[in-house]
Chain A
Amino acid sequence: MAELRGVGIGLGVARGPVARMAEPLPPPSDAPSTLSADEESARVKDAVAAVARELEQRGAQAGGAAQDVLEAQAMMAEDPSLADEVATRLAQGKTGEFAVFDAFASFRDQLTALGGYLGERAADLDDVAQRVIARLRGEPAPGVPDPGHPFVLVAKDLAPADTALLDLDKVLALITTEGGPTSHTAILAREKSIVAIVGAADAASLREGETVIVDAAAGVVTTEPTPDELERAQHRAEDRASASSAPITDGALADGTPVPLLANLGKPEAAADAVALGAEGVGLFRTEFLFLSSAQAPTVEQQRESYTQLLSAFPGKKVVVRVLDAGADKPLAFLNDAHEENPALGLRGIRALRASEDILREQLTALAEADAATRRMPGGAADLWVMAPMVATVEEAVYFTDLARDYGIKTAGVMVEVPSSALLADRILSYTDFASIGTNDLTQYTMAADRLLGSVASLQDPWHPAVLRLIREVGDAGRINRKPVGICGEAAADPLLAVVLVGLGATSLSMAPTALADVRATLLQHTLDDARVIAEAALAANDAASARTAAQAAATR
């Protein structure tokens, strides 16, 4: 066997024979056209219109996020700037094929030079160009193969037009040699729950028809698998399928230690779905949705209504509401409109709220009123907890806790997302009622890697032992102070990492509701002592990948 590595999307595993995506067409030669410029122009016009209509039609068929992408591509085909560039080249006697190729290339180079997210959009452009050129040549557009049986699709990078219409009964898994975690392949694979590994450069060497195991949870493609490995992969896939249909129980370890499983929500309307998936409450309710796209903060009345609706959906359950987390990737004009060179290190979270304290006071007022309004509910009132985002100092923790208590909030805590607050968690937890670790930001700040930047995405891994060590600090601080320590962030949705987090001292886990079943099933396989041993194994590693491997080995021992 041999292993290829890439970035896994999701937690699935699949096995099957490789089928490759057709290679892109060779670039057209720059021979002079035998047609007049007008004739060439008419050909190009017909071809771009046909491609645009086809992309729109595929978009309408696919719906969702894919539709936006495909409609954008249709607009690219008929773009007026492109038409100008093509016309200039046709006037010089070029063929339609070459004019389209060369005109698109000029835009492509601009995007590639910009790099990052925009560089990845260059693939969308290439796809449109290929389709138009194929149409001009009267050839079929390059696309997904159809070997007549289910297959593992291997491609350089999938175009949105291809991903959107993948036949999910046929495609067992996706592997791309290019593209990062923000590529369309990754986004759409997540949306459709396709087992996928992106950016596996070595996958270019995979042979047509050879059987591979695609393990997205580990980010590994195994070639020439042994019968034993194939069987294990099959078992894992079956376990995962049965876990998602297992009866819903409260989150707990094998020894009965309860680990409440909570939901991350952004809208009160999402509560019903979360309950149906077995959420025992809300571990993170983001209040930004109420404020985004508005020039002013919503009124106390508007907020009270939303919070009442949320609390009413969880009678007798815990609901942790995070006050406004503005700044960096979530700008709110009325809280911070200054241009900052490094907004992630700027006036955000609790810092921005202190600078506009009236907004924080209004939010606490609305929360306390909603709490009072739902207190006599049948089945018992929800247990409202309120926390502040981006707390970096003990002083900020004291400030927020005192203010929240002034408004009658019974349980007030802070989010640990900055290494400073993780390191001083013992002192912070002596003042606050609880802490909740936001693993995405904690990873970003620990690794000094912008979470929105594709080029440093490999550093954005919560398995990194540096991040785990900080989480252990908070877990220990929770034990010493007898205060709960929750996790809300992508990390809790990774089943094995969830076990590690509990081993490090987390007392509850909050995640996207769709991840609850996998995590519930995995927790039930390990005792608290097991979890501690698995966590120790991960902590002892030097990097994220070996921490994951070490934890896996410890978990199967």
Chain B
Amino acid sequence: MPSISRTVRIGSAHGLHARPAKMFAQAAKEAGIPITVAKDSGAPVNAASILGVIALGVEQGDYVTLTADGDGAEAALDTLAELLTTDHDAA
């Protein structure tokens, strides 16, 4: 099965830092398939790694590319893309 990719814009006011990064990495881990995330054209990191995700330094308005491979890749990317475009710090 070929891997699929999607590019999304970060909605969270605090970018991908503490809380949003945790939610994102947790969701990526729960997907159970290899998923990577890359900022702009940078090197992809394991999306299930909260350290890797935080160290990308993703800010609000940045674009990131998600890539997934395996069964359910499409659905996993849907979930993750929605997480990334939502502002979790706004409430």
Contact = CB atoms under 8 A, between A and B. Distances in A.
Interface string A220-263: 00000000000000000000000000000000000000000000
Given A293-B86, A331-B87, A79 B13 contact: no
A333 B10 CA distance: 11
Contact of A82 (B13, B14, B22, B49): B49
A24 B49 CA distance: 26
A118 B22 contact: no
B19 interface: yes
A340 B62 CA distance: 10
Q: What 5 pairs between A and B have smallest CB-CB spacing?
A: A81-B49, A72-B22, A114-B57, A110-B55, A292-B90
A534 to B, nearest CB: 36
B60 to A, nearest CB: 7
Contacts of A333: 11, 85
Interface in B49-79: 49-52, 54-55, 57, 60-61
A449 to B, nearest CB: 18
Contacts of A288: 90
Of the listed residues A80, A82, A124, A452, the one surrounded by the most CB atoms of chain B closer than 10 A to its CB is A80
B58 to A, nearest CB: 10
Nearest to A182: B14
Interface in B9-24: 9, 11, 13-14, 17-19, 21-22
Contacts of B49: 79-82
B10 to A, nearest CB: 9
Given A81-B51, A339-B61, A69 B18 contact: yes
A293 B90 contact: yes
A76 B50 contact: yes
Contact of A330 (B13, B45, B46, B48): B13
Contacts of B61: 331, 339-340, 343
A107 interface: yes
Contacts of A399: none
A81 B48 CA distance: 9
A337 B8 CA distance: 12
A111 B26 contact: no
Given A114-B57, A289-B90, A333-B11, A79 B51 contact: yes
Interface string A17-57: 00000000000000000000000000000000000000000
Given A75-B22, A79-B52, A81-B46, 6 more contacts: A68-B18, A68-B22, A75-B25, A79-B51, A289-B90, A343-B61
Contacts of A426: none
Q: For this complex, into which size category does the number of interface residues on chain A fall?
A: 20 to 34
A369 to B, nearest CB: 26
27 contacts: A68-B19, A69-B18, A69-B19, A72-B18, A72-B21, A75-B22, A75-B25, A75-B50, A76-B50, A79-B51, A80-B46, A80-B48, A81-B45, A107-B55, A110-B57, A111-B54, A111-B57, A114-B55, A114-B57, A288-B90, A289-B91, A330-B87, A330-B90, A331-B61, A331-B87, A333-B85, A343-B61
A117 interface: yes
A329 B55 contact: no
Contacts of B50: 72, 75-76, 79
B36 to A, nearest CB: 11
B68 to A, nearest CB: 16
B90 A118 contact: no
A117 B18 CA distance: 10
A163 B46 CA distance: 30
Nearest to A187: B18
B46 to A, nearest CB: 6
A68 B89 CA distance: 12
A325 to B, nearest CB: 12
Given A72-B21, A72-B22, A331-B61, A117 B14 contact: yes
A121 interface: yes
A461 interface: no
Nearest to B60: A331
A536 interface: no
Contacts of A76: 50-51
A107 B46 CA distance: 14
Contacts of A433: none
A228 B60 CA distance: 50
B59 to A, nearest CB: 9
A71 interface: yes
B13 A331 contact: yes
A337 B46 CA distance: 28
Interface string A310-351: 000000000000000000011101000101100100000000
Interface string A433-464: 00000000000000000001000000000000
Interface string A94-130: 0000000000000100110010011001001100000
A65 B14 CA distance: 15
Contacts of B55: 107, 110-111, 114
Nearest to A69: B18
Contact of B54 (A71, A118, A292): A118
Contacts of A71: 22
A253 to B, nearest CB: 36
A124 B46 CA distance: 20
Contacts of B18: 68-69, 72, 121, 124
Contacts of A75: 22, 25-26, 50
A292 B87 contact: yes
Of the listed residues A81, A110, A117, the one surrounded by the most CB atoms of chain B closer than 10 A to its CB is A81
Given A288-B90, A293-B86, A121 B26 contact: no
B75 to A, nearest CB: 19
